[in-house]
């Protein structure tokens, strides 16, 4: 965009700022349209057991199904919804969609052993949240033991007593808690000690670095992943690795004792209708032989 000077040469447009503002306004608009037109959906990515390749659960991932622009991933959508306060309505809608889809999928596959992992923003942590989730899972007839709540280190950051109370309440109700993107952000191993964490999700950046020949980090990343896995197991946590894209990564992670994993190697996030159609075609999609 051209720089335009005003009469006295003082007026300068900053293209990056202006484009950012426009993009932001467009996203805010899409969020409102998505809510009023029911364009939000919960896509599901299978989580597999590393040893067998069997599906043990699904992570619900927000998608905006835009009639003109197609399937829009969360990206900046979540952070903008957090800034504008729309996250409450988006989060509640997403919970409804995720639970509804989970029931459909469980009924279609006849499998009631799989779990559903749901991402929650720190801003959704208000005192009424445990009661709200319990009312919803009751309404859908889903046992709390089948639900995993994914939080990030940002939620635990200030050791906020209110957050602790909410997590303890989830824990008492039988929901499990996963610490997402572990190893990025403000990681502290003491979180595993101080909060009722059941699952540690190793961030995909480590998984990528383990086998990335472009960096010198391979060896160190491998040691980190192996170490995080051992410590998590000692703290009685299950370990899930994210972003597995190659057989080599799968084999390494398996050798480190990582329990479960998810990534494009196994399946991309997809609509529940697609997952159900796939399962009809093959009863155990993507199942691989035991290595």
Residue ranges of the alpha helices (H) in 148-271? 153-156, 161-173, 190-194, 204-210, 218-234, 247-255
| Nearer of residues 78 and 80 to ligand C2E, judged by Cβ | 78
Q: List the one residue out of 70, 69, 65, 51 whose CA is nearest residue 94.
A: 65
CA distance 104 to 171: 26
Question: Residue 262 in contact with residue 46, Cβ under 8 Å?
Answer: yes
Kindly tell me which of 108 and 122 has the beta carbon lying closer to Mg ion. Answer: 122
Does residue 153 belong to the site contacting Mg ion (CB under 5 A)? no
How far apart CA 141 and CA 287 sit, in angstroms, is 28
270 binds, among ligand C2E, Mg ion, none (CB under 5 to 8 A by kind): none
Q: Using the minimum distance from each CB to ligand C2E, give the nearer residue, 118 or 192.
A: 118
Does 100 bind ligand C2E (CB under 6 A)? Our answer is: no
Token pair 């479960």 is found at 260
Q: How far is the CB of 285 from ligand C2E (least distance, A)?
A: 16
**What single DSSP character describes residue 116?**
E
- Residue pair 202/182 in contact by the 8 Å Cβ criterion: yes
Measured distance CA(243)–CA(41) in Å, rounded: 21
Please state the closest distance from residue 110 (CB atom) to ligand C2E, in A: 26
Q: Which residues ranging from 172 to 201 are in contact with Mg ion (CB under 5 A)?
A: 180-181
CB of 190 to ligand C2E, least distance (A): 22
Asked if 259 interacts with Mg ion (CB under 5 A), we say no
Q: Applying CB under 6 A, does 262 fall inside the site for ligand C2E?
A: yes
Residues that bind ligand C2E (CB under 6 A): 45, 61-62, 73-74, 78, 94, 119-121, 150, 180-181, 204, 242-245, 262-264, 269
């Amino acid at each position: 965009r051209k720089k335009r000077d005003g009469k006295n040469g003082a007026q300068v447009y900053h293209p990056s700022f202006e484009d950012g503002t426009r993009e932001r306004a467009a996203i805010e608009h899409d969020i409102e349209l998505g809510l009023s037109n029911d364009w939000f959906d919960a896509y599901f990515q299978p989580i597999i057991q590393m040893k067998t390749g069997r599906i043990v659960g699904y992570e619900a991932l927000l998608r905006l199904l835009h009639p003109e622009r197609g399937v829009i991933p969360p990206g900046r959508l979540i952070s903008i919804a957090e800034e504008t306060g729309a996250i409450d309505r988006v989060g509640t809608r997403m919970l409804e969609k995720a639970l509804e889809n989970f029931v459909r999928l469980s009924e279609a596959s006849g499998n009631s052993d799989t779990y559903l992992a749901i991402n929650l923003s720190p801003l959704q942590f208000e005192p009424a949240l445990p009661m709200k989730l319990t009312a919803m899972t009751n309404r859908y007839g889903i046992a709390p033991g089948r639900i995993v709540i994914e939080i990030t280190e940002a939620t635990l950051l200030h050791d906020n007593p209110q957050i602790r109370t909410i997590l303890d309440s989830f824990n008492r109700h039988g929901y499990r808690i996963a610490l997402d993107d572990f190893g990025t952000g403000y990681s502290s191993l003491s979180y595993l000690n101080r909060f009722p964490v059941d699952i540690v999700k190793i961030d995909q950046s480590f998984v990528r670095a383990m086998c990335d020949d472009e960096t010198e980090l391979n060896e160190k990343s491998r040691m980190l992943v192996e170490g995080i896995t051992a410590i998590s197991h000692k703290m009685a946590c299950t370990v899930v690795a994210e972003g597995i894209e190659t057989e080599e990564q799968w084999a390494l992670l398996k050798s480190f004792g990582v329990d479960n994993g998810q990534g494009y190697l196994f399946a991309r996030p997809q609509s529940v209708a697609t997952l159900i159609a796939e399962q009809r075609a093959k009863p155990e999609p993507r199942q691989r032989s035991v290595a």
